[in-house]
Structure 1
Amino acid sequence: MAIRRQSSAAASLLLPPVAALLFLWMFGGGHVMAHTEIRNMTALQKHVSFFDRNKDGIITPSETFEGSVAIGFNVTYAREFATLVHAANGPITSPADAPLPHLSIYIENMQRGMHGSDTGAFDVKGRFVPQKFEEIFIKHAKTRPDGLTYLEVEDMILANRDPLDPASWEGPQIEWGGIYNVASDNDGFLHKDDARGIYDGSVFVKLEEKRAFSHHSAM
């Protein structure tokens, strides 16, 4: 399964000092406030704001872990995902005067976390680029025009890899693999509307609500 391969790959990148700092922070003290109003956010900022569970403009590792479980990631994958995301983006997005160890993600600076080998559906400032999103389905949706199979998602990821930037290859694999695993339908398709919702975070809200409803119905 995709999620298992990606989970193993993610685990291989975990460095003990980073993981130790992460979980110290997850269960440690607080941080300053950095409010960013939703109406002023770029698509990229909206994409990550779902994980800002207390809506203070700063995403802690524990919030990413909580949000990842809320959308359906298993605990092990959510832990690995939070570790990698915050190790990569915390230092980049944190202002100089932010509390150490700079593992929290500051939404206002999220554009600093842009990485290579992506689809191009975010511009350099984190704004959504509709034509680039449409190209995903024009180029890769071979089975049906409004959905992607797992193999088509893999094909898209490979097609977008920058051969001069191998350090950027793992991010899209983990991100798209994780979302495909929790958002694809019973026939194995990631629908176009759900893929679009990745870019502004709306699919995360949908997945959390769906999961909460399923749990409630099972009681």
Structure 2
Amino acid sequence: AIKSAPITTERLPYVPSSNDRLLDPGVARANSAPTQEHPHGTQGTWHEQHKNQTVLQQHCAYFDPDNDGIIWPLDTYRSTRAWGWSILLAAIAASIIHFGLSYPSNPSWIPDPFFRIWTSRVHKNAHGSDSLSYDNEGRFRPQLFEDMFSKYDVEGKGGLSIGDLLRFHKGQRNAFDFWGWSATALEWTAVYLLLWPEDGIVRKEDARKVMDGSIF
């Protein structure tokens, strides 16, 4: 950080120490989502069941209950209803998600009339103005996930409050990236509604589990 650029002192990145359990945080992981606290990501049955999927595909697996690699709008609707969301909220979420994410993942240049999402190509939906914790191939980047909390968890409470999330959204916005701004806002609103933390703080470990889908 330098004093002549105050933003660099306000938003300090994650700097690994020699004692950190997380090794090589700058190296993207194909099928695990590690952090300092969980350097091997989610283990046990979850890892065994999903070790042949990228972390982004793992995130999507919950919405593909028959595991056929295709997520229908009805799949997303039923999945969010299972969280306790209302009929209206689940319908709105499914509509927005599939309207925005179907075509980039479509293996054909012809738009899909059913607005399905193909998990084999879900990495095509990568966008800017977010934490960039997923790379363009669907891998997980520990450094950038850690950066999100290092920069925006200003009180060191181990998570992000609504105020922190608003600062995160503002701080990560790229110029004229209206799609990225909107997608990030909707994604983190959905995360907050899913977790609905009693103290108002989205814990780092819960956010990590959202990234690899194990929390679903």
- TM-score for the superposition, normalised by structure 2: 0.72
Map 1:77-96; keep pairs closer than 5 Å.
77-96=89-108
> Shift of residue 137 of structure 1?
0.8
Greater share of residues in helix: 1
Unpaired runs of 5+ in structure 1?
1-36, 205-219
Aligned residue number for residue 150 of structure 1? 162
Q: Which amino acid aligns with 2:158?
A: D
Q: Which amino acid aligns with 1:44?
A: L
Pair 1:180 & 2:192 matched: yes
Q: Which of these residues, 42, 46, 53, is aligned with residue 54 of structure 2?
A: 42
Residue by residue over 1:121-142, the C-alpha shift from the partner in whole angstroms, topping out at 9 and shown as x without a partner, is 1111110000110011101112
SS at match of 1:64: helix
Contact 2:98 2:117 in 1 (8 A): yes
Aligned residue number for residue 72 of structure 2? 60
Contact 2:132 2:144 in 1 (8 A): yes
Contact 1:140 1:155 in 2 (8 A): yes
Contact 1:93 1:113 in 2 (8 A): yes
Residue by residue over 1:84-107, the C-alpha shift from the partner in whole angstroms, topping out at 9 and shown as x without a partner, is 111111111122299941511010
Aligned in 2, Cα 1:72/1:190: closer, same or farther, shift over 3 Å? farther
Aligned residue number for residue 198 of structure 1? 210
| Distance in 1, Cα, partners of 2:59 & 2:77 | 15
Aligned residue number for residue 127 of structure 2? 115
Question: Sequence identity, in percent?
Answer: 32
- TM-score for the superposition, normalised by structure 1: 0.71
Q: Which amino acid aligns with 1:64?
A: T
> Shift of residue 167 of structure 1?
2.4
| Distance in 2, Cα, partners of 1:133 & 1:173 | 17
Aligned residue number for residue 160 of structure 1? 172
Aligned pairs, how many? 168
| Distance in 2, Cα, partners of 1:66 & 1:158 | 32
Aligned residue number for residue 171 of structure 1? 183
Q: Which amino acid aligns with 2:151?
A: K
Residue by residue over 1:160-216, the C-alpha shift from the partner in whole angstroms, topping out at 9 and shown as x without a partner, is 111131222111111101211221421111111101111111122xxxxxxxxxxxx
Aligned residue number for residue 27 of structure 1? none
**Root-mean-square deviation (CA), in Å?**
1.9
| Distance in 2, Cα, partners of 1:108 & 1:85 | 17
Contact 1:137 1:145 in 2 (8 A): no
| Distance in 2, Cα, partners of 1:74 & 1:155 | 28
Any runs of at least 4 consecutive aligned residues in structure 1 with deviations exceeding 2 A, and if so which? Answer: 71-75, 97-100
SS at match of 2:134: coil
| Distance in 2, Cα, partners of 1:81 & 1:165 | 21
